[in-house]
Amino acid sequence: MRELHNQLSRYVRHAAEGGEVVVTMRGQRVARLSPLEIGDPLAELRARRLVQEPARSKRNLHGRKRLAASAPVSDLVAEQRR
């Protein structure tokens, strides 16, 4: 842990370049620093048909326009509490 703390930038750079760092505490493995997989996290689930794209946008489901507040929300809440 001490070495990771002192050399964190070096180890993050190593992981970003494709390497892997295993962190230990008192000789026991406790964590792993490895590169992120760039790409679509849902691609595999879509391919297996476990998820699908929504049929339509969640916004404006009922054809209504979004209302704009005429005053700060805090004022509206305070007024409703009276």
pLDDT in tens, 65-82: 777 777 788 887 888 887
Name the residue ranges covered by the structural domains of the chain. Answer: 1-51
State pTM to two decimals: 0.45
Alpha helices, H only, 8-71: 8-16, 43-47
pLDDT digits (tens, 9 = 90+) for 35-57: 987 788 788 888 898 888 887 66
For residues 20 and 15, what is the distance between their CA atoms, to the nearest angstrom?
Answer: 5
